[in-house]
Amino acid sequence: MGKSQQDMQEIRSARSRFIAMAATYFLGVFNDNFFKQAALLLAVVAGLSGLQGKATMLFSLPFILFSAYGGWLADRFPKKQVIIWVKVLEVVAMAMGAYGVLTLSWSWILAMVALMGLQSTFFGPALNGAIPELYPSWYVTRANAVLKLVTTLAILLGMAMAGIALDQHWFETEIPFGRILVAAVVLVVAVTGVAASFGIKQTEHIPCKTSIPWSGPFASLRDSINLRRDPPLLLAVLGDAFFYFFSLIAVMLINTLGISELNMSVTATSMLAVALMVGVCVGAMIAARITTPQRWSHVLGPASFGMGICLCLVGVIAHQNTGMQWLLLLLSLSCAGVCGGIFLIPFTAFIQVRPAESEKGKIIAAANFCSFSGMLIAGQVFTLFDAAFVPSSNMVFLGGLGMIASFFFSAGARVARRFELRIDSDGDAT
């Protein structure tokens, strides 16, 4: 699509608004991952690795139950207002989590995880739906790649700093100092996130006239089923759900692989997860170069196969007793992340651009419903397999799933391209 002078002016004028949006997103994603990684590491050290699956299910459940309401709020009210209020909710959630970490109360920690899931349910449609309002459609993929870079850096810092913070012993305290540091950080970052959200500029808002979806998850299920009328959009939503199912199991396996099977420190284990996220960051930037919202499905099959074969390699390396084991694991996970970034970014941009303006929140909410249904299933699958097999074997199983899925995504891409060609032909005929 042509890059007109008006488009370039629109991009320049949106810069400050995008920076405020990215900062708000960065702080929220950092806090979420910092706290979750700290809690998961504490659980694994305490011999409670099964809590990883429970925490995942609790975080995912609000998306399944309340996504329809999150989409309706994003379409009905100014997105800036929605973002500010959900950031206030994050402060409440982090206060609960801080208390849970200080007292090592798993009930409070799990309650905080559930509340953060609710906060994210309302945050996602509002923020992601605002991106296409800032930029011309051809630039949305690049904007998402930049945002993915920012949020991936937040994930990286959050996951890396969680292990480092827990290992700190600056002062002799009754409660281990590392837990005090975690509690202090999440509260400070949450309050800073609220302040950052006020910097988001309000765009012109035309509220939708649809009534509130009282049926909640049934409305999300209906909206998801209705995507079959648009095969490319259905492929994007299903691919998005698969990615979060797949990547979440991978991250939980990394925690148990490092600490339980390979007897690594929490810091070294966190660095393995960081390597995966660094790869995602690199893959996101590659995806911005080789895909657009108009041409994106060709990368799905190769990227899924790449994720699978790299994770299989991780499982094999874990069985090798070599001095370079940790470095080889870092390299393999980085490569898996690169393939993951190439796989994910095209979905994100297409889901934002494809729907009509009045339905963006609803469609993004339906996509969240599907993605977090996948994450809910991921928590249950992880719990079952963690009890039956060692983490390295589970990593090989997961890699095999990625390779098998690549054939389905290649077939889905062909169906999506034929649909687009038919639509284009019909448009030319008229």
pLDDT in tens, 255-271: 889 888 888 887 788 78
Beta bridge partners of 295: 292
What are the C-alpha distances in Å from 229 to residues 263, 366, 412?
50, 14, 14
Long-range (24+ apart) CB contacts under 8 A made by 92-100 are 93/119, 93/190, 94/31, 94/35, 94/186, 94/187, 94/189, 94/190, 95/187, 95/190, 97/35, 97/39, 97/183, 97/186, 98/182, 98/183, 98/184, 98/186, 98/187, 99/183, 100/39
Q: In the prediction, which pLDDT does 425 show?
A: 60
Domain extents for the chain? Answer: 10-198+216-429
pLDDT higher than 80, residue 362? no
DSSP conformational letter for 292: B
- pLDDT, the chain, mean: 81
Whether the CB-CB separation of 49 and 260 falls below 8 Å is answered with yes
pLDDT-derived band at 75 (thresholds 50, 70, 90) equals confident
Whether the CB-CB separation of 129 and 79 falls below 8 Å is answered with yes
- Three-class SS of residue 295? strand
DSSP 254-277: HHHIIIIIS---HHHHHHHHHHHH
Query: Which range has the top average pLDDT, 62-66, 144-148, 307-311, 340-344?
Result: 307-311
Report the interhelical angle of 231-256 vs 391-429 (nearest 10°). Answer: 170
Whether the CB-CB separation of 294 and 354 falls below 8 Å is answered with no
pLDDT-derived band at 277 (thresholds 50, 70, 90) equals confident
How many other CB atoms sit within 10 Å of the CB of residue 357?
12
User: What does the pLDDT look like over 394-411, one tens digit per residue?
Assistant: 999 999 999 999 999 999
Q: In the prediction, which pLDDT does 13 show?
A: 62
Mean pLDDT of 221-243: 88
Mean pLDDT of 236-261: 88
Q: Is the pTM higher than 0.85?
A: no
Whether the CB-CB separation of 380 and 57 falls below 8 Å is answered with yes
- For residues 125 and 365, what is the distance between their CA atoms, to the nearest angstrom? 6
CATH 1.20.120.450 fits 10-198+216-429, yes or no: no
- For residues 42 and 167, what is the distance between their CA atoms, to the nearest angstrom? 11
What are the C-alpha distances in Å from 416 to residues 144, 224, 405?
22, 17, 16
